[in-house]
Each structure stands twice: as C-alpha cells, then as structure tokens.
Amino acid sequence: MGFHDHLQDVVRSVDGAVACTLMGMDGIEVDTHLTDELGLDLRALLVEFSTLFRSAKEAAEAHQAGGVAELSIQTERLLTVARVVSPEYFMVAALRPDGNFGKARYMLRVTAPKLAAEL
Amino acid sequence: MGFHDHLQDVVRSVDGAVACTLMGMDGIEVDTHLTDELGLDLRALLVEFSTLFRSAKEAAEAHQAGGVAELSIQTERLLTVARVVSPEYFMVAALRPDGNFGKARYMLRVTAPKLAAEL
C-alpha cells in the first residue's frame, strides 16, 4: 500500500471523515485523500492547523512536556485530529462535527506507523 | 458554587486530572485548581496553549469553519483539553497521559455552561 491507500483507508473507516492528509511539519502537503470539502477551503484550513501543530510542538518542548503526539480541534463545522508520523511529518483527519472522533484517533494511531515505515 | 468549586469538581471527577483552569482569551488566568504540576511548569504551559486556542479560533473563523468549541493536545507527559466558555473565556483541564480523556471532554462540556452562567 502506498501513502494514498493508507489515507483513503482512514477516510473509509471513520464515520463522518471527509479527508485525510499527510503533511510536512513545514505545512507542505505530501498527499491527501479528500471526498468532500464541506463547503470550506479545507486544504487551506489544514495548512493553517499545521502551524498550530508546530506551535504546540515548540511550546511542549520548551516546557519539558515531551513531544506532541496528537492535537485535535473541534469547530462548529469541522472536527480535525492530527497525529505525528515522524519528526518531519504528521497526518490529519478531517471529519464532520458529528463524525466518530474516537475511531479517528484510533485509526490515526494505527496508521501513523504504517506511513512512517514508507517515508 | 463559585468558579473554584467547578474547577475542583472537574479535577476530582476525571481519573488522572491534575489541574483545571479558567482563562481569558488573552492568556490571563482567572482561577485554577491544581493538585500536581507533574514536574512541569504547568501554569506557563497552559498560558502557551492559550495562544494556540486563540490561533485556532482565528484560523477557523478566517476559513468559515465556525467557532472553536474544543482543542486538545497530547504530549508524552501531559494531556490537555480546552473548551470555550464564552467569547472571552475558556477552560482547560490537564491530565496525566494515561488520564481519562473521554471523561475530561464530557466534564468540560457540562461544566463550561455553569462557569459561563457565573461570568
């Protein structure tokens, strides 16, 4: 399985998921599986959220809280869960607000090492 | 019940919770119930994470994703869940990494309106 298959697998496995993306810590997208933008500019929003992932990483490291494993943001129209894949990459799943958050966290946890193995 | 009782109630009700704080969107702490710093400068870290909450809010609004209801960050040594209380305030619970994340989300969801009613 290539990157894209793994990303597609996350979207297919999680109720309410509309996108899953592999991204560099620099905010540059490596690959994305996207089924619905939900009327949002989802790609642009995911890039913005990657800045938050980096900021969380820096804040946690500066305060000896260790590396950031996961970050999630719930807005009125979107639920996103991001998980670190390697020091240089992370992945993000985007869900409708009523999507299965627990399953998304689980799928990212099991998929991240698979992506890491292919990087 | 005053602010502090509600914050204490969250810490008592959630396995692994060590702190709960009510904070202004400007990062200024209103009240905190803290039982253990986990060897971290937890207050400083929560202030840093409040910056992330604000950034998430701005990014979400700029991209029509609606208001940010919740933000969570899991690091190797700490799990934090933040939830909006009102346009000017939010609350954050800090847990040990093996703390009960689901219960923390639930407790913040039911406690936020109680705090809002007293602001």
pLDDT at B63: 86
Q: Say which of A44, A69, A76 has its CB closest to residue B69.
A: A76
pLDDT per residue as tens digits for the range B106-119: 999 999 999 999 98
Give residue for tokens 């705090």: B115
pLDDT at B44: 86
CA distances from B46 to A68, A119, B26, B29, B42 (A): 14, 33, 12, 9, 6
The closest alpha carbon to B58, from A73, A22, A70, belongs to: A73
Name the band, by pLDDT with cuts 50, 70 and 90, for residue A10.
very high
pLDDT over 70 for what percent of chain B?
Answer: 100
Tokens, residue A44 = 């642009």
What is the spatial distance between Cα B17 and Cα B111, in angstroms, rounded to a whole number?
Answer: 15
pLDDT at B70: 94
- Which of chain B's residues have a Cβ under 8 Å away from the Cβ of A76? 65-67, 69
Q: What is the pTM of this model?
A: 0.91
Indicate if the pLDDT at residue B80 is higher than 80: yes
Find, in chain B, the residue whose alpha carbon is nearest to that of A78.
Answer: B65
A94 contacts A42 by C-beta, under 8 angstroms: yes
- Which of chain A's residues have a Cβ under 8 Å away from the Cβ of B49? 56, 59
Give residue for tokens 């943001």: A73
Residue B98 C-alpha, separation from nearest chain A C-alpha, in angstroms: 13
- Which of chain A's residues have a Cβ under 8 Å away from the Cβ of B82? none
- Which of chain B's residues have a Cβ under 8 Å away from the Cβ of A75? 56, 60, 65-69
A23 contacts A39 by C-beta, under 8 angstroms: no
Indicate if the pLDDT at residue B1 is higher than 80: no
Contacts of B69 (CB under 8 A, 6+ apart): A74, A75, A76, B83, B84
Residue B11 C-alpha, separation from nearest chain A C-alpha, in angstroms: 20
